[in-house]
Structures are given as structure tokens and as C-alpha cells.
């Protein structure tokens, strides 16, 4: 077993690592100002070459760009290090160059002699080629990729943020995972932006390398000829070799780091490093290797071609293709059967995995509304939706399903659509940056802007610019922003369709929650006394009439008492409503005191009781003319009740309450129908309007 490499204690200390960057910057500044001996220059040039190789290998073994997030800073520091070494070596070349080619250290001498053979003309050509490759090919390409990557990363940020928040709302990820993914999205955009800027340093470094080399040659000639009385040929040879060696020592690490930058920004993130991707994708298909080997072998047979090199390469490619084919056969052999081998290739059979579940609650938005979901752009809609679900759970008594949010390019740019189990239940438009001025009925003026209606309650409204917000408020308008418009509409629809949102899973979760607090209360109810579906139907009946189910203790106790005599959900609902009477009245009349209600005229009440006895509890046999009269007069009484400032409540006998509630719910959804048995004895009743008094 290999033992893990242990760093010295002083190096592992946080304080020592914090001092590394300042020490490196001070060292680079010192190299520009202080004269350095040749031996120290050799150390720094060797370190520069080693650093560039480390950076290249690190870029090759990264799986995704963010794994090497410090690369832009490394690019800047390595560039400044090379420039500092150029300045330090220039000082030594100009002051000691007359003494020989080793005046600036052994590294520069080695590059001047062994790499270019001591020929300064060859050195100039090699240096120019390296600089051109680095400046016009590698660096320019890497900079362009980084620029485009930064633009795409910024454009994709709102959609990515919205997807993260949608997953969080749906419960697919936790808060810590969402925070981590948001950080990665922001870091990706910052990384490509930093790479776009850092690539300019590399291009500037290439230009500076050319200028420094030319200055070294010209300056060296002047110093050698004028100060040291050297012959022109000797001065040209010495200083040119030193300048070219110095330039190559800097340009080769610069080229290596430029290649590393191109690798980092040009790769597509996957679970493999660049080496695995290249081998797995370039040399994975035996057909490609076979055809390439055949072409290379044919070229090797052409007279005048280097036959040995071409034929050896063709044989290697052919051998590689044969090996890949053998491996593919070995993999397929165990899985293949005679029947499968003889069967023709067919399309995959449909499975249950192809069925996509329908979102219980969905919100689809046009692309202009995406900023409302992006917290980085000031959008607070996601936070408001979380608040809506929490408030709904506290008020109504169960947790609404998560709202799945997605963008829909088929909608208008500023439009949105709210869906319930895949069906559109509400839609509207919200204009980001503008405010909706809603007319509550008592405004003192008009406003410029497109006239519309409030999507939640249908009130007349006008979209106005932000500059008119104060004026609209002074005229008596209720002014809300685009996010509030959408959130209010969503909240209204969730409360309106609460009964449809209560599925069996939510009912079971309610029972589980109640069992934790009062285990004896629920142990005999489901399924011994009533079924889960019956309990669900009772709770849905309550929610359909706007009755909250927070008091599950009373509901369960009442059902336990009544379930022995009836299993009909409607009769169970009547019993539960009577038990919840005080809470129902408190919900409608929160201030206490007398209860102002509408009631039926005695003659109409008798007619309805007779019709109920003749048609049964569902009221299917009520004469159409009578039904139309009831609806018309109930609407008139409702308007009068609202003008008096009282809640729209109709008080009827208990036998008529289910019938009239179901009948009037479609045309007058805001009307609450109560029975005498539901009213607490402590409250005083005040009759304000008679329904059917003129019948």
C-alpha cells in the first residue's frame, strides 16, 4: 500500500497558504527591480517551464472547466512571471552579454545552442514561428471560445436558475443542493468571463515577447559596439543568440499555457478527462481505422513515397481495427441468442417509462417573464410561491402540491398560463418593469396605458409605467407589480380549486400527521369505520364550499360518531359542517356580533321543500322555471347584500342547504349557504334581504 504524501506542517497551515500569493507577487516585482545572478535566473526559468507543464497536465485531467476554476488567475500570474523574467534577463544580457553566451545563465545558453544549433538566423525563424502560432492560432482561438462561452453562460443563467428553483419547489432537491447548484451556475459564467479577459494577457505577452527580443538585439548591439568595443559580427552573434534564447525560454512555456487554456475552454463537460474522451471517441470505431489504414497503405505503394513509414502505419491501423472488432464480438457474444440474432432490428417496445406524469399544479411563462424567477435579477416570484403554499397550508389545513414552473415559447412573451392536472385553469399577461393599477371602484381619475382586467378577480385595470406609480396611488388605484399580479392569480386559483388539489396521497399524509399527535384518534377510523376514499370525498365537499379543514380533530371525531349510521359522503359532510359550525361562521364573520344574512321567503321555502320531497336529495326534479327564478332573485339579493356591506350569506333550513349550495355554486360562487343548525347559539341573527319575496 502506498502511503499518502504528507506535507510539512508549516506548509499545510492556513496562514502559510495565505502568504503564498503575496509572496509570489512581491517576488515578481523584485525581479523587475533588483539585479539577479545567473544561477537564480536559471532556477526561475526552470520553475516557469515546470509551472507551464503542471498547468497543461492539470487541464488535461480535469473533467469539467470548473474543476480548474483558478485557471484565469494562474494565467495572469504565469504571464506576469514570464514578463518579470524577461525584464530580469534583459538586464543581465545587456550588462554581461559581452562576456559570452552563458552570461544570462545556463538555461538561456542551452536554448540558444542546443535548440537552435547556435545559429541566430535559425533562432529568429523558430522564435517568429512560435510567436505566430501562439498569437494568431492558439490564443486567438481560445479567447474566442471563452468569449462565446461567457455569452452563452450569461444568457442561460435565468433558465438554469429557474430550473433549479423549480426542482427545489418540487422537492426534487434540498436547499443545500439548490444553493450549491446556484453557485455552480454563477461560477460558470464568472469563469468564462474571466477566461475571456485573461486570454488578452496571453496575447499581450506574445506581443511583449517580440518587442523585448527586438529591444535586446538592438540594445545589445549598441552596448557591445559602443561600450565594449566589440566587432559588429561578434556583437551580433552574442547578443542575438542571448536574446533569441531568452525569447524562446519565455515563449515555449507561454505556448504550453496557451494550449492549456484552449483545452480548458474548448472541452465539453463530461465524466471523462480529455485523454479518455480522445481515445474513446477517435479510436473507438474499427471502420474508421480500417478505411484510414487502407488509404495510408495505398499512398505507401505510390512510387517515390516513403514506403516503409506508410506501410508500417497502415499495418498498425489495420491491427488496431482488428483488435477493436474482436473486442466487440466478445462483448456481443454472451448477450446474443439464436432467436435474437435472426430477429430483424425493430423499434424499441413501448414501456411504462414512456408515460410522463401530469403535473398537479403547473405554471408556464413566456420568455419575458423569466426574470421574475431569477433572484439575481430581483425576481421574487419563487419566494412568493413558497409563501403562498405555506400560507395555504396554515389557512386551509393541508399542503398544496408543488408548482412546476417551465418556460413555454408558444406563449406570448409576457403571457403566462396556470394549469391544474394538465388543464388550463387561468391565464393572463404580466409586463415586467410595469405596474398594474387596479380600479377598486372609487378612483378619481384615469391613467394612460393599455386597459385590461385584473386576471384574479376581473376588476378593471391599467398597465402603467413605473414613473406613474405614485400618481396612480394618489388617484385611488391599487398598484401592484408584475410578480404580484401573477402570484395573486396563482393564489386565487389554488384556493378556488382546493378540493381538486386534495388527493388520496394528501389525505393519507393528513392522517399520518394527525396520528403522530393523537394516535388513538385515528386508529379506528380508516379503514375500519370508513374508507380512505369516503374520507377524501367528505373533505373535498368541505373544501368545495370554502370550509377549511384545519380542525381535523373535530372532523375525525364527528365521522367516528356518525359512521356507524351512514356511509353516504353527503350525509357525513352535513354532520361535519354542523360540528364545524362555529369555525364556519367565524371564518365568514370574523368580528363577532350579529350575523347579517339573507334568507328565503316562506312561500319559496315551502315550494322548495315540496320539490325536494318529490325529486329526492339531489334536487334533479326542480322545475326549470323555478330554478331560473331562484338564480335571478338570489343574484339580486346578493347585490343588495354587498351594497349594505355584509358578507354574501344565505341562511336556509338544513334539508335545503345541500341542494341550494350545489345549485347556486356555479352562478354565484361567492355566495355562502348556511343552515340553521350550523349557527352557534351565542350569535344573533339579522335578516337583511328576502330571496323570493316578489315571486
Query: pLDDT, tens digit, for every residue of 602-647?
Result: 998 888 888 888 765 555 557 788 888 889 999 999 999 988 889 9
Which of 205, 220, 289 lies closest to 254, judged by CA? 205
Mean pLDDT of the chain: 80
The backbone region for 397, taken as left when phi is positive above 0, alpha when psi lies in -120 to 50, beta otherwise, is left
3-state secondary structure of 566: coil
- What's the confidence (pLDDT) of residue 339? 46
Tell me if 442 sits within 8 A of 418, measured CB to CB: no
Query: 532 Cβ partners below 8 Å, 6+ apart?
Result: 504, 507, 508, 526
- Indicate if the pLDDT at residue 459 is higher than 70: yes
pLDDT digits (tens, 9 = 90+) for 377-433: 767 888 889 889 999 999 999 999 999 999 888 899 999 999 999 999 999 999 998
Q: How buried is residue 438: exposed, middle or buried, by Cβ count under 10 Å (0-12/13-18/19+)?
A: buried
What mean pLDDT comes out for the span 100-128?
67
- Indicate if the pLDDT at residue 95 is higher than 70: yes
* β-strand pairing of 451-453 with 460-465: antiparallel
Q: Cα–Cα distances in Å, from 34 out to 30, 82, 88, 139, 243?
A: 6, 16, 8, 31, 20
Which of 601, 588, 569 lies closest to 679, judged by CA? 588
Tell me if 669 sits within 8 A of 639, measured CB to CB: no
What mean pLDDT comes out for the span 274-288?
69
pLDDT digits (tens, 9 = 90+) for 35-69: 777 777 778 778 878 888 888 888 777 777 777 77
* Grid cell locating 28: 515578481
Helix axis angle for 504-517 and 532-544, nearest 10°, is: 100
What separation, in Å, do the N-terminal and C-terminal C-alpha atoms of the chain show? 99
Place of cell 506576469: 80
Indicate yes or no: pTM above 0.75: no
Tell me if 672 sits within 8 A of 646, measured CB to CB: no
User: What whole-number distance in Å separates Cα of residue 532 and Cα of residue 506?
Assistant: 11
Which of 141, 394, 93 lies closest to 261, judged by CA? 141
User: What whole-number distance in Å separates Cα of residue 77 and Cα of residue 75?
Assistant: 6
Query: 325 Cβ partners below 8 Å, 6+ apart?
Result: 286
Q: Which of 166-170, 363-367, 603-607 has the lowest mean pLDDT?
A: 166-170
Tell me if 495 sits within 8 A of 474, measured CB to CB: no
Q: State which H helix or E strand residue 649 sits in.
A: strand 649-652
The DSSP output letter for 104 is: T
* Grid cell locating 89: 534577463
Instruction: Please give the sequence-ordered ranges of beta strands (E in DSSP) within 421-543, or none if there are none.
Output: 423-429, 434-438, 451-453, 460-465, 478-481
User: What whole-number distance in Å separates Cα of residue 634 and Cα of residue 690?
Assistant: 9
Q: How buried is residue 151: exposed, middle or buried, by Cβ count under 10 Å (0-12/13-18/19+)?
A: middle
What mean pLDDT comes out for the span 562-587?
93
Query: 459 Cβ partners below 8 Å, 6+ apart?
Result: 438, 439, 440, 441, 453
Res. 573 pLDDT band, cuts 50 70 90: very high
- Indicate if the pLDDT at residue 271 is higher than 70: no
Cis amide prior to 527 (ω within 30 degrees): yes
* Grid cell locating 591: 368580528
Amino acid at each position: 500500500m502506498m502511503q499518502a504524501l504528507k506535507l510539512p506542517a508549516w506548509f499545510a497551515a492556513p496562514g502559510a497558504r495565505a502568504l503564498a500569493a503575496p509572496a509570489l507577487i512581491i517576488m515578481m516585482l523584485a525581479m523587475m527591480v533588483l539585479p539577479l545572478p545567473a544561477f537564480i535566473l536559471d532556477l526561475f526559468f526552470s520553475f516557469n517551464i515546470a509551472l507551464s507543464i503542471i498547468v497543461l497536465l492539470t487541464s488535461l485531467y480535469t473533467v469539467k472547466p470548473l474543476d480548474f476554476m483558478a485557471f484565469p488567475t494562474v494565467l495572469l500570474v504565469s504571464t506576469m512571471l514570464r514578463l518579470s523574467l524577461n525584464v530580469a534577463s534583459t538586464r543581465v544580457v545587456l550588462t554581461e552579454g559581452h562576456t559570452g553566451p552563458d552570461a544570462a545563465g545556463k538555461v538561456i545558453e542551452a536554448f540558444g545552442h542546443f535548440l537552435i544549433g547556435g545559429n541566430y538566423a535559425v533562432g529568429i525563424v523558430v522564435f517568429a514561428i512560435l510567436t505566430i502560432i501562439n498569437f494568431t492560432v492558439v490564443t486567438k482561438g481560445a479567447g474566442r471560445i471563452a468569449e462565446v462561452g461567457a455569452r452563452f453562460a450569461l444568457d442561460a443563467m435565468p433558465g438554469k436558475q429557474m430550473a433549479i428553483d423549480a426542482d427545489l419547489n418540487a422537492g426534487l432537491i434540498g436547499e443545500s443542493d439548490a444553493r450549491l447548484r446556484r453557485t455552480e451556475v454563477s461560477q460558470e459564467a464568472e469563469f468564462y468571463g474571466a477566461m475571456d479577459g485573461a486570454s488578452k494577457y496571453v496575447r499581450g505577452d506574445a506581443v511583449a515577447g517580440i518587442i523585448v527580443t527586438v529591444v535586446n538585439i538592438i540594445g545589445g548591439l549598441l552596448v557591445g559596439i559602443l561600450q565594449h568595443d566589440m566587432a559588429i559580427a561578434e556583437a551580433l552573434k552574442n547578443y542575438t543568440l542571448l536574446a533569441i534564447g531568452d525569447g524562446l525560454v519565455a515563449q515555449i512555456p507561454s505556448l504550453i499555457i496557451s494550449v492549456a487554456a484552449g483545452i480548458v475552454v474548448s472541452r465539453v463537460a463530461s465524466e471523462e478527462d480529455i485523454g479518455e474522451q480522445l481515445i474513446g471517441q477517435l479510436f473507438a470505431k474499427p471502420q474508421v481505422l480500417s478505411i484510414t489504414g487502407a488509404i495510408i497503405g495505398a499512398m505507401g505503394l505510390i512510387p517515390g513515397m516513403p514506403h516503409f513509414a506508410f506501410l508500417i502505419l497502415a499495418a498498425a491501423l489495420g491491427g488496431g481495427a482488428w483488435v477493436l472488432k474482436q473486442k466487440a464480438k466478445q462483448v456481443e457474444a454472451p448477450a446474443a441468442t439464436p432467436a435474437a440474432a435472426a430477429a430483424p432490428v425493430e423499434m424499441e417496445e413501448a414501456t411504462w417509462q414512456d408515460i410522463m406524469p401530469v403535473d398537479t399544479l403547473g405554471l408556464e411563462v413566456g420568455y419575458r417573464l423569466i426574470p421574475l424567477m431569477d433572484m439575481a435579477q430581483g425576481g421574487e416570484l419563487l419566494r412568493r410561491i413558497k409563501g403562498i403554499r405555506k400560507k395555504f397550508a396554515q389557512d386551509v389545513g393541508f399542503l398544496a402540491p408543488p408548482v412546476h414552473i417551465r418556460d413555454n415559447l408558444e406563449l406570448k412573451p409576457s403571457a403566462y398560463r396556470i394549469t391544474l392536472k394538465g388543464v388550463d385553469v387561468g391565464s393572463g399577461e404580466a409586463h415586467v418593469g410595469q405596474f398594474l393599477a387596479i380600479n377598486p371602484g372609487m378612483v378619481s381619475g384615469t391613467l394612460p396605458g393599455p386597459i385590461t382586467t385584473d386576471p384574479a378577480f376581473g376588476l378593471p385595470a391599467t398597465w402603467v409605467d413605473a414613473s406613474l406609480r405614485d400618481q396612480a396611488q394618489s388617484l385611488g388605484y391599487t398598484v401592484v407589480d408584475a410578480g404580484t399580479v401573477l402570484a395573486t392569480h396563482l393564489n386565487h386559483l389554488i384556493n378556488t380549486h382546493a378540493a381538486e388539489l386534495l388527493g388520496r396521497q394528501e389525505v393519507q399524509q393528513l392522517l399520518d400527521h394527525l396520528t403522530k399527535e393523537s394516535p388513538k384518534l385515528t386508529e379506528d377510523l380508516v379503514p375500519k369505520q370508513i374508507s380512505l376514499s369516503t374520507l377524501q370525498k367528505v373533505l373535498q365537499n368541505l373544501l368545495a364550499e370554502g370550509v377549511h379543514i384545519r380542525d381535523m380533530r373535530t372532523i375525525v371525531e364527528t365521522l367516528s360518531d356518525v359512521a356507524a349510521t351512514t356511509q353516504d359522503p353527503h350525509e357525513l359532510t352535513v354532520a361535519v359542517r354542523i360540528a364545524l359550525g362555529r369555525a364556519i361562521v367565524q371564518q365568514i364573520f370574523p368580528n363577532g356580533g350579529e350575523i347579517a344574512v339573507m334568507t328565503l321567503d316562506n312561500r319559496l321555502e315551502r315550494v322548495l321543500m315540496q320539490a325536494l320531497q318529490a325529486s329526492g336529495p339531489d334536487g334533479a326534479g326542480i322545475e326549470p322555471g323555478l330554478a331560473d327564478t331562484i338564480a335571478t332573485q338570489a343574484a339580486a339579493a346578493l347585490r343588495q347584500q354587498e351594497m349594505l356591506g355584509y358578507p354574501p350569506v344565505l341562511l336556509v333550513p338544513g334539508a335545503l342547504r345541500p341542494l341550494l349550495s350545489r345549485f347556486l355554486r356555479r352562478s354565484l360562487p361567492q355566495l355562502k349557504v348556511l343552515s340553521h343548525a350550523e349557527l352557534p347559539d351565542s350569535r344573533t341573527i339579522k335578516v337583511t334581504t328576502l330571496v323570493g319575496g316578489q315571486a
